[in-house]
Amino acid sequence: MKPVYVSKTAVVTGFGDDLAALWQGLLAGRSAVGPVRRFRTANYLAADAACVPWLDQAAPGRAMPLLLERLVSGFGSVPAGTRLLTATTKGGVDGFQAQRRSGSASLPAADGHAFCRLVERCWHVHDPTAMNINAACASSTLAIARGGAMIAHGVADAVLVVAADLVSEFVFSGFSVLRALSSDGAHPFDLDRAGLVLGEGAAAILLTNERLARDSETGPLGRLLAWGSANDANHVTAPARDGCGLIAAIQRALAMADRGPEAVAAISAHGTGTVYNDAMELTAIEAVFGDRRLPCHSAKGAIGHTLGAAGAIEVALGLQMLAERTMPPTVGLVTPEPRAEGRVSASAQRIADGCLLSTNSGFGGVNAALLLAAGGDL
């Protein structure tokens, strides 16, 4: 198979409109979580989320277009013939909700097809085969894996993956009904964790073959070495306690890369801060890596759970970690649970030579894993 390079990234999060803002915020141990102002939260379990501040003033149905327009402004053009994959769980459901309340029947970017068309307009890309991948919280992780496969097998020279999700009342109320929201912030891998905090954001990842990576002005940011996915088929919303799906996804990624667990230097974990997700991840980490105390990180205590955009944001962040050989503090961590001690830290950690494992899991039992390497010698 042909090598797959990451040639360009861009992110928008509650910290700001670029990766530098996200990186500095995480290194400083800050949180982008604050009171939700765009809808009333009095009847819900929580009142906070990690929102993009300037989206609070967006008119109904305009938040997603504005978010994508800001994302593309920090990304630039893509090579001719670039293929497109998108990832979102609920797209512009905020606009759909407002229109339904007003009696309108139109559907503004609330489904995958409409979201693809919106992304095409923002990037001036036309790909008749473009598709949206909606695999819950592993959506953009799987989109990046699919894009990597297209390049590895010579189906495409370049694939643009664009992922975005919003903090909408529809989603907020749903997680509240599930009793998954924490009222005092997310505490990933903490002994006293009690739930997640929602966040919003977007990311764009340009995957290319070697020729286009070589022609890039800046050179590749890194390599997508391998990927794996598996479904534990356990429950609509709850992960399998034994971590079987995540274990299988990680093992498939390692097998594809023809590398053993010792090649992994650090882990960018899903780390939602819910009781069962974090326990499942630690079980999977122990199953694959044994007693090794690899540096592990979750961004969700700082930027919230960005749903379908989480994996793509974490890929951009993971490549920065590899470049800096530094893993930022896990914001929200106070007292690590015993199995997290020596792995997850409230302080920055150094990363040794090796690749980074990035994982995400979602409703329906979906699990996905990516292996990333720094730079990309050409």
Beta bridge partners of 135: 137
Calculate the dihedral angle through the C-alpha atoms of 225, 230, 236, 237, rounding to the nearest 10 degrees: -40
The two three-digit tokens of residue 244, written as one number: 């079987």
Question: Of 270, 296, 297, 355, which is the active-site residue?
Answer: 270
Contacts of 180 (CB under 8 A, 6+ apart): 195, 196, 237, 274
Question: Of 51, 122, 305, 355, which is the active-site residue?
Answer: 305
Question: Of 116, 137, 244, 296, which is the active-site residue?
Answer: 137
Task: Report how far apart, in Å, the C-alpha atoms of 251 and of each of 210, 262, 370 are.
Answer: 26, 12, 11
Which residue in 136, 123, 35 sits closest to 84, CA to CA?
Answer: 123
Is 137 marked active-site? yes
Is 305 marked active-site? yes
Q: How far apart are CA 87 and CA 84, in angstroms?
A: 10
Is 270 marked active-site? yes
The two three-digit tokens of residue 88, written as one number: 């979102």
**Is-contact 25 35, C-beta < 8 A?**
no
The residues that are catalytic are 137, 270, 305
